[in-house]
Chain A
Amino acid sequence: MSATPTHRPRAQDSRDRGGPAQPLLMVENLTKHFPVRGGLLNRQVATVQAVDDISFSVQKGETLGIVGESGCGKSTTARLLMRLMEPDSGSIVFDGDQVGDRHGISVSEMRRQMQMVFQDSYTSLNPRMTMAESIAYAPRMHGLGRKDAYDRAESLLSRVGLTPHQYSRRYPHELSGGQRQRVNIARALALEPRLVILDEAVAALDKSVEAQVLNLLSDLKESLNLTYLFISHDLNVVEYMSDRVMVMYLGRVVEAGPVESIYRHPRHPYTRALFASKPTLDPDRRTTEMPLTGDPPNPINPPSGCRFRTRCAFAQPRCAETVPILTAPFEGDSDPAHVVACHIPAAQAVQHV
């Protein structure tokens, strides 16, 4: 760890196999449907299409933000990536190696390099383990000796801003929410991962503590050369943290691209409505009209074609017939990396937000 956070060239990481141009993570056609059982014979009566055919990649050193409302599949995506759930189909390639493939890397090797921080800082820690035990657990499981594992735990505690001699022997209930989330971050870093998935990692924290943890995450990313997948429902926090953003709605990606382009020129009608719902923080510019009516539909048996069409002001018959695919808008001035899944060009006309 260098004292002054500067960008080390990627090549210094001996685990970097593909070079800087190889995305750290490539996900293709990832799908997970959950059966809903019911009735007399407990037959499958419906399917929750939690994640439906999504593809994306994460470049080395970047932060990819995923935003969307509850039920859009953002947390399921995270769990599928970590293989906490088996995907129905789709491939995950980590730094050029297919995960779970005979010629690629195993799931446990992938987990060594990809770690996750969850929303609920309390339930994600074992109540019977001290902080040092929790952090040292994974390194010990992966073969590090007891003494070394505990040394690592202590250095990680101080890395996340907790004095080791004060906190290493404490139990989860003796810490505040912000302190526990720092411990969860330390635990995620214990195997020296390259990619960290942050699934609503700051959502449960008070604002003054959230800001501290966001600063910590930015510092750690710089100094440890990390790549983040940052999942949140908070549009402002995603804008602050991410380099690229992916907007999900009912299990599909509706829009993706560089953060400035998405936030300045959102093109999908859903993304626009989402941004328009954001409180303005200005008492003189209060929202006066509802950007959207109703709640997101149930992901059980979602609408055919474009899933947003039932709430969309621009919907036309073809929106019900074919599923729109992610494409770059036609206009010349737009960023080619900014892609939108929408049939209706008029709905996507550039607006300045």
Chain B
Amino acid sequence: MSNEPVLRVEGLTVRFTRRNTDVAAVNGVDFSLKAGETLTILGESGSGKSVSLKALMGLLPAYGKVSGKVWLNGQEILGLPAAALAKLRGGAVSMIFQEPMAALDPVYTIGEQIAETIVQHEGCDNRSAMKQALGLLEQVKIPSAERRLKNFPHEMSGGMRQRAMIALALACKPTVLLADEPTTALDVTVQIQILLLLRQLQEELGMAIVFVTHDVGAAAEISDRIAVMYAGRFVETGTTRQVMRNSLHPYTQGLLSSTVHGGMRGRALETIPGSPPNMAELPPGCAFAPRCRYVADACRQGDLPVVTTESGTMARCVRVQQLVAA
């Protein structure tokens, strides 16, 4: 594995402009990812985490304006012509979704769908593609894979469908796998199976994973690094340990303390007051300021300081800057 990042993103912004509304969904996201590394983007609904992924894949509707720079294996991919992008999608970079039932085609068997992708990208014949599809189903540990190859999506259970979708995404050995809440719709006993499977596949195949979730538990299980997203920005990034144990940003702290876990019985939960901001009317300065218990005048003005600690944690916060300086 080289130390060159396989995916590098700089200043990614997405705006949705329609008639009178101008929604700033993603406001400058930067990250880079090495082979075999997992970055989790953790955020609540509307924070821009899914939109960021879709922007990387070029899956946004025409009224979504994407700017910034994205390099995949050293090649700049934002602004590539549609045909070149289509070659990358499902090839060097692929994506899995929250709802496999919606992402898979209901009128083709699992085998046909996987084989189609392989034929499309590798130009081999159907029979050998089918053989590869069988191998993929075995790789994602679908029992009696031979029979399952001929199943339609509705004939499978939720966990099985999610495995089939992962097999489909791995069909062309992607260097980057984008995972958009792949375990959210699953039961807890199945969720842990899928997380373990992803971890194991990553070890075998060495791909980089961008894992998007709102679930702190899933993030702790799978990621090397966590980026906490709020109102279209990364407010804190760091290793999983740093973010889970010594978070710096008041939003991360609030999110962790309001997540119920064992041993909290009998105590009132610490909550973040209010609700997430309207992305069409973001306040100047820190978007979290209206809900922040440490808010100061400096938070409401202009650009926020980006603080990087010695341990490599980044936080976008006035208070953190003061704490680090002191």
- A residues with a Cβ closer than 8 A to B are 69-70, 176-179, 206-212, 214-215, 218, 233-237, 239-240, 259, 263, 273-274, 277-284, 286-296, 298
Q: Determine whether the beta carbon of A240 is less than 8 Å from that of B260.
A: yes
Q: Closest Cβ of chain B: how far from A283's Cβ, in Å?
A: 4
Instruction: Report which B residues bind A (CB closer than 8 A).
Output: 44-45, 143, 157-160, 187-193, 195-196, 214-218, 220-221, 240-241, 244, 254-255, 258-262, 264-265, 268-273, 275-276
**Complex Cα–Cα for A178 and B274 (A):** 10
Pair B189/A277 contact, Cβ less than 8 Å:
yes
B199, closest chain A residue (CB): A286
B271 in contact with A281 (CB, 8 Å) = no
Q: How far is the CA of A53 from the CA of B255 in the complex (A)?
A: 41
Q: What separation, in Å, do the CA atoms of A278 and B261 have in the docked complex?
A: 10
**Option from B188, B215, B275 in Cβ contact (under 8 Å) with A274:** B188
**A211-B270, A218-B268 known; 11 other A-B pairs, CB under 8 Å?**
A69-B189, A211-B259, A211-B269, A240-B269, A259-B265, A281-B259, A283-B241, A284-B241, A291-B189, A295-B157, A295-B190
- Give chain A nearest CB distance to B33 CB in angstroms: 18
Q: A233-B188, A279-B221, A296-B187 are in contact. Are A206 and B244 (CB under 8 A)?
A: no
Cβ A215 vs Cβ B271 within 8 A: yes
Bound CA–CA A289/B200 (angstroms): 11
The docked-state distance in angstroms from the alpha carbon of A283 to that of B238 is: 13
Q: Which residue of B lies closest to A67 (CB)?
A: B188
Structural contact, B217 and A211, CB atoms closer than 8 A: no
Report whether A239 and B192 are in contact in the complex, using a CB–CB cutoff of 8 Å. no
Contacts of B255 in A (CB 8 A): 207-208
B218 near A207: Cβ-Cβ < 8 Å: no
A282's partner among B188, B192, B244 (CB-CB below 8 A) is B244
- Contacting pair B189 A287 (CB below 8 A): no
What A residues does B218 contact at CB under 8 A? 279
* Residues in chain B near residue A239, CB distance under 8 A: 260, 262, 265
Distance of A294 Cα from B159 Cα, bound (Å)? 7
Q: Do B275 and A176 have beta carbons less than 8 Å apart?
A: yes
Say whether A291 contacts B187, CB under 8 Å: no
Contact across chains for B187 and A233 when beta carbons are under 8 A apart? yes
Closest to B244 in A: A283
Complex interface: chain A residues within 8 A of B159 (CB): 294-295
Do A295 and B261 touch (CB < 8 A)? no
> B162: nearest residue on chain A (CB-CB)?
A295
A225 vs B220: C-alpha distance in the bound complex, in angstroms? 38
A residues in contact with B275, CB < 8 Å: 176, 178-179, 209
Q: Which of A176, A207, A209, A273 contacts B189 (CB 8 A)?
A: A273
Instruction: Check A208 against B187 for contact (C-beta < 8 Å).
Output: no
Task: A215 to B270: give the CA distance in the assembly, Å.
Answer: 9
**What is the bound-complex CA distance between A350 and B259, given in angstroms?**
29
Do B261 and A281 have beta carbons less than 8 Å apart?
yes
**A240 to B259 CA separation, bound complex (whole angstroms):** 11
- Establish whether residues B220 and A211, one from each chain, have CB atoms under 8 Å apart when the complex forms: no
Of B187, B196, B264, B271, which contacts A212 at CB under 8 A? B271
Tell me which of B192, B220, B273 contacts A283 (CB under 8 A). Answer: B220
28 A-B pairs with C-beta separation under 8 A = A69-B187, A69-B188, A176-B275, A177-B45, A207-B255, A207-B258, A207-B259, A208-B255, A209-B275, A211-B260, A211-B270, A212-B271, A214-B269, A233-B188, A236-B261, A239-B260, A259-B265, A273-B189, A274-B189, A281-B216, A281-B220, A283-B220, A287-B221, A293-B193, A295-B159, A295-B160, A295-B187, A296-B189
